[in-house]
Structure 1
Amino acid sequence: MFELVFRRRFAMAHRLLTDGTAQCAVPHGHTETVTVRLRAVRPERLDGAANMVEPFARAKARWHHWIDGHVDHALQLGEADPLLGWFRAAEPERLPRLLVTPGDPTTELLCGLFAAKLGAFLAADGGRLACVGVEIEETPTNTVRFEGDPYDILPRRHGWWSRADLSINAWDAAR
């Protein structure tokens, strides 16, 4: 069975408050690479003409637009992080650049959230393709790979990750 695989690099910053180490509790950044794998929901024989599952441009357009325009250079914070209150009071214009997660924004959680968001995009685009895997390389030596139904592992089902819009938090749902 064919898989469509594509990658995107993005810069991010986050902090992990429940980690227990002071090093990760200080905001810090990574340049990450996300790799996604898609399969046809109803695989068919190649047609003898175009001979493709789906044009790459169509399969990756919305995903790349979201990564490049909304995830890249976003600050990832858990929904209980006190920095959210600071941004609300001092710099509310920056709220759309905050990727807010249920709990600490770990790479494991992001894999699940990204799989759910990509699934919402694919469903809104007709449901011809399904996400079968997401991999995020956090550093050259640390990678997390997720396969399966993201709703089996996410702390909760609903949030920006379950919508086919371009949002990354509750404040920018209109985007």
Structure 2
Amino acid sequence: MGTHTVLVRHNFETAHRLPHLAGKCLNLHGHSWWMEATVSAPSLTAGTVVEFGDLKRRVRDWIDTHLDHGAMLGAADPLACLLLEHKSKVFRFGAGDPDPAERFAEDLAYPTVEAVAELLARVVGDALGSLDHAPGAFVSRVSVSETHVNAAEFKESR
């Protein structure tokens, strides 16, 4: 028995910093991020896993609203409060009392590329759950690239 998959890609420009790690990532810096999400299902409904347009629109809108042209920071990072005070777009990882969008990252402390992949897997899963989809459809893989040579994947184990 086979598995059907669909793939959605999107890119966004976002800064982050990793003060808990030594080295140059302590500095606030930006990347041209690329996200690739795979949704899998054992069978099709009406010939599809999920309608591409609706899934793409929801995922892209979420990324553009909450991440694009902003900064991803740990909630404990002093820069998060400073940037928010100056009306900058900030998405906080590990926020104890997160806004509704930040709930996807409340147990992820810092915006490492691995954590961003897991965050986006949760976002895609939430979008999928709100759409008509084939029975058993799930987010099987999310790959995130922060540069041409640095990437991470989050895979659902089933």
Residue in structure 1 matched with residue 70 of structure 2 by the alignment: 74
Backbone CA RMSD of aligned residues: 2.0
* Structure 2: runs of 5+ lacking an equivalent: 95-108
Residue in structure 2 matched with residue 86 of structure 1 by the alignment: 82
Residue in structure 2 matched with residue 135 of structure 1 by the alignment: 143
Residue in structure 2 matched with residue 61 of structure 1 by the alignment: 57
Residue in structure 2 matched with residue 109 of structure 1 by the alignment: 115
* Structure 1: runs of 5+ lacking an equivalent: 150-175
Closer/same/farther in 2, CA of residues 38 and 72 from structure 1, 3 Å limit: same
**Offset at residue 142 of structure 1 (A):** 1.1
| Pair 1:43-2:37 in alignment | no
The alignment partner of 1:3 has SS state of strand
Question: Which AA in structure 2 matches 1:14?
Answer: H
Query: What is the distance in 2 between the residues matched to 1:58 and 1:120?
Result: 13
8 Å Cα contact 2:74/2:92 also seen in 1: yes
**Offset at residue 12 of structure 1 (A):** 0.8
Q: Deviations over 1:17-38 (max 9, x none)?
A: 01111x1111001101100001
Residue in structure 1 matched with residue 29 of structure 2 by the alignment: 28
Query: What is the distance in 2 between the residues matched to 1:15 and 1:53?
Result: 36
Q: What's the TM-score, normalizing by structure 2?
A: 0.78
Query: What is the distance in 1 between the residues matched to 2:50 and 2:116?
Result: 26
Q: Of the candidates 65, 87, 90, which is equivalent to residue 98 of structure 1?
A: 90
Q: What's the TM-score, normalizing by structure 1?
A: 0.71
**Offset at residue 123 of structure 1 (A):** 1.5
Count how many residue pairs are aligned between Structure 1 and Structure 2.
139
- Deviating above 3 A after TM superposition, structure 1's stretches of 4 or more consecutive aligned residues are 126-129
Identical aligned residues as a percent:
28
Query: What is the distance in 2 between the residues matched to 1:116 and 1:58?
Result: 17
8 Å Cα contact 2:141/2:154 also seen in 1: yes
